[in-house]
Amino acid sequence: MKKINKTFDWRFWIWMPILGILLPYILNKTALTVNFKIIMSLFIVNMLFSVLTGMFLRRTGSNWALLLVWPIIYLISIWLQINSAFYGYYLAILYLIIEIFAFTSGQEEELDFEKQISVDGGFREV
């Protein structure tokens, strides 16, 4: 139960709609240049958040299916026409890939079975 509470910590999950929907909406209403909005919001902030999301889900031992939540929330902003569909679908895929890399980092090496002690007959006194 503690692991579930850790995974569904509202302080972390509230950032997804803020960064995926609210931040692009606010940036669209400002007089900033389009290039600044795209680079700042979509590339720097959202990609860093994708890395943090993957690391958070790995640290809490969450199911891999929760990796899909952040790209889906970003896709909702595309369907609401807050972000452009021209590049939005590609960025959602990119966010998912970044999350997967962060989620699986450190899991490249397999166990070294040759160095393990077999216990077929149980432990015996030496």
This prediction's pTM: 0.72
- Angstrom CA distances, 85 to 33, 38, 90, 91, 118, stand at 18, 13, 9, 10, 56
Per cent of the chain over pLDDT 90 is 16
pLDDT at 112 over 70: no
Is 98 within 8 Å of 43 (Cβ atoms)?
Answer: no
Query: How many whole angstroms separate alpha carbon 122 and alpha carbon 75?
Result: 54
Return the pLDDT at 45: 87
Q: Output the six-digit token pair for 50.
A: 């994708």
Return the pLDDT at 6: 64
**Average pLDDT of the chain to the nearest whole number:** 80
For residue 113, give the amino acid letter: F
